[in-house]
Amino acid sequence: MPTPTRRELEILKVLWEDGPGSVRAVHRRLLTREPDLAYNTVQTLLRLMEAKGLVRHELDGRTFIY
């Protein structure tokens, strides 16, 4: 299992605390800690985390739920 980076760990903490969520939901939560964090950054990190096997997604319509 790969070791998550600091930002990846922050995303994992949000998912552990809130349960499954969309990129938008994770981004909103992280904005309270990092106000300048871009939505695209969270989206890219979640994709990379999925490639590493740290998260997986399911589709809800057209929305990825991690």
Cα 57 from Cα 18, distance rounded (Å): 15
Cα 47 from Cα 51, distance rounded (Å): 6
Q: How is residue 11 written in tokens?
A: 């995303």
Cα 27 from Cα 58, distance rounded (Å): 18
| Res 1: pLDDT | 78
Cα 37 from Cα 62, distance rounded (Å): 23
Question: How does residue 65 score in pLDDT terms, banded at 50, 70 and 90?
Answer: very high
Question: Which letter does DSSP use for residue 60 in this model?
Answer: E
pLDDT digits over 9-63, tens only?
Answer: 999 999 999 999 999 999 999 999 899 999 999 999 999 999 999 999 999 999 9
